[in-house]
Chain A
Amino acid sequence: MNKILLDLAAKITANAIVLFARMVTAVRAIWDGIEPIAKKRVYFGNHTSNGDFILIWTVLPLHMRKRTRPVAASDYWLDSKVKAFLGRHAINAVLIDRNPETRTEDPVTQMAEALDEGSSLIIFPEGTRNVSDQPLLPFKTGLYHLAKARPDVDLVPVWIENLNRVMPKGEIFPIPLLCTIRFGEAMHVKPKETKEKFLARSHAALLALKENGDQS
């Protein structure tokens, strides 16, 4: 009984979050090199705001959204009961420990397991929210290790436009502005590609999506 109530609460909360995101941002998806079909994927995007994964989630068709899990930091999502409910149940995030000292599980293994269970993932390879003037910070190595661990999974770059204006870091309420989510062509790590080469290539692919948006 409790489980049913919890699931119901999680479902209602998730839909409320999506509805709110739509009202504030009228977010639009542009599928620029890939189709919205239910295939196992790792979406990797630029990270400027806490709402980033919510917007990606919002524009995915419902049947895909149900099977797409954001990867998030457990120290942030487990520090209060409300956030734990949101993170674990409503959003169903894959919670990883960012601190190598305390962690009991390897993040890449956790992500690979989630993929093996049939989920798609949303990750932010910059590792932290970008508040600099550069459009995109250098990538951490997690994306490469995940790509190596599951080389057949599609890696899809996702450029999130304008959300940093809707809710800049440190502000507590959003202002309504239009946002766009642009999905690019899927990529894979090549057999003999080095870590540096792959990270540079995926970084460039994400920036190229931004350029596409700026031109149209």
Chain B
Amino acid sequence: MSAPFEFFLLLAGVFCLLVFASLVAELLRARTDPEAPSPVIENLVARINAWWFMVAFLSIAMIFGRTGVVILFGLLSFAAMREFLTLTAKSRADHYALAAAFFIVLPFQYYLIWVDWYGLYSIFIPVYAFLFLPIISVLRGEIENFMTRVSETQWGLMICVFAASHVPALIMLDIPGYEGKSILLIAFLVVVVQGSDVLQYVFGKLFGRHRIAPLLSPSKTWEGFLGGVISASFLGAGLWWLTPFAIWQAFLIAMMISILGFLGGLVMSAMKRDKGIKDWGHLIAGHGGFIDRLDSVVFSAPIFFHVTRYFWNVG
């Protein structure tokens, strides 16, 4: 039990927001014909319900502090990588390499985060997994598609494990005047990046006219992007009291997080198009898979971590 007071203040705010969203969605639903339910509204209700669960899981993990958040993100990485590697190229010869990715690399990366061994967790997957997993595969002697197989596996580890593990790593930052509160950086990151996703969706639905990347994602528009990023930047500025940042710094960092999140969504969309799928998975009703919800987080978390560490951390 180690969450600071500000965390509960934020949680109360998020709770009110979700109650409001659920009420609006139910009102919209009540106004439609029960014989012919609108798919858009049903999807909205499913999304909001999933949000309740996601907020509940994250809050419980955060109340348990470092250990809780490390375990939660370890499980999220597992679920995300299960989705990612379902779609990548692999052969029977990769069985041990894939097993090592799941059962050795993933837990060890999170163990390194937990013991706060910055020097090793920053290079473990980009150096050691990168070099050793292809060695495991090559020893079984199957050369067909070799380069595709090893690259796609490495991508899965980088996205689903390495990048995602930078979220719990935020807790270990040591910032003067901010002792014991670093867990709030996670709250700030998650609220801004997910808030930006929701705001982009809302602005896109209300004002979207001009498609930003018609080949990649027909639902992303300039109006949604600009409205979402600008409003999420103000949201971040308004949450400056969670962070060690000044208001203007919080504004700029929130803008950076939102833009990275948006671009991360585009990259992951390109991968989905390439593999011919619409969603990464099916486990989060209304949202798709875990990667569909995490894509913007994984692209912003490492950069947010390093920017904060470079300018604020003393360690």
Which residues of A approach B to under 8 Å, CB–CB?
26, 28, 162, 165, 168, 171, 173, 175-178
Contacts and interface: CB of A to CB of B under 8 A. Distances in A.
A26 B281 contact: yes
A32 to B, nearest CB: 15
A176 B102 CA distance: 8
B90 interface: yes
Interface in B92-126: 92, 95, 98-99, 102
Interface of B: 78-79, 81-83, 85-86, 90, 92, 95, 98-99, 102, 281-283
Given A162-B86, A175-B95, A178-B281, 20 more contacts: A26-B79, A26-B281, A28-B282, A165-B90, A168-B92, A168-B95, A171-B95, A173-B99, A175-B85, A175-B98, A175-B99, A175-B102, A176-B81, A176-B82, A176-B85, A177-B82, A177-B85, A177-B86, A178-B82, A178-B86
A173 B85 CA distance: 17
Contacts of B79: 26
26 contacts: A26-B79, A26-B82, A26-B281, A26-B283, A28-B282, A162-B86, A165-B90, A168-B92, A168-B95, A171-B95, A173-B99, A175-B85, A175-B95, A175-B99, A175-B102, A176-B78, A176-B81, A176-B82, A176-B85, A176-B102, A177-B85, A177-B86, A178-B82, A178-B83, A178-B86, A178-B281
A214 to B, nearest CB: 10
Contacts of A171: 92, 95
Nearest to A171: B95
Contacts of B99: 173, 175
Mostly, the A contact residues are loop
The residue in B92, B95, B99, B102 that gathers the most chain A C-beta atoms within 10 A of its C-beta is B95
A176 B83 CA distance: 9
Nearest to B283: A26
B84 to A, nearest CB: 10
B219 to A, nearest CB: 20
A133 to B, nearest CB: 12
A175 B97 CA distance: 10
A178 B279 CA distance: 13
A173 B98 CA distance: 11
Contacts of A176: 78, 81-82, 85, 102
Contacts of A178: 82-83, 86, 281
A20 to B, nearest CB: 14
B260 to A, nearest CB: 27
A19 to B, nearest CB: 15
A47 B282 CA distance: 24
A175 B99 CA distance: 6
A170 to B, nearest CB: 9
A132 to B, nearest CB: 13
A168 B91 CA distance: 10
A98 B242 CA distance: 68
A165 B90 CA distance: 9
B137 to A, nearest CB: 13
Contacts of B90: 165
A6 to B, nearest CB: 33
A26 B102 CA distance: 15
A178 B86 CA distance: 6
Nearest to A164: B92
Contacts of A177: 82, 85-86
A175 B92 CA distance: 11
The residue in A162, A173, A175 that gathers the most chain B C-beta atoms within 10 A of its C-beta is A175
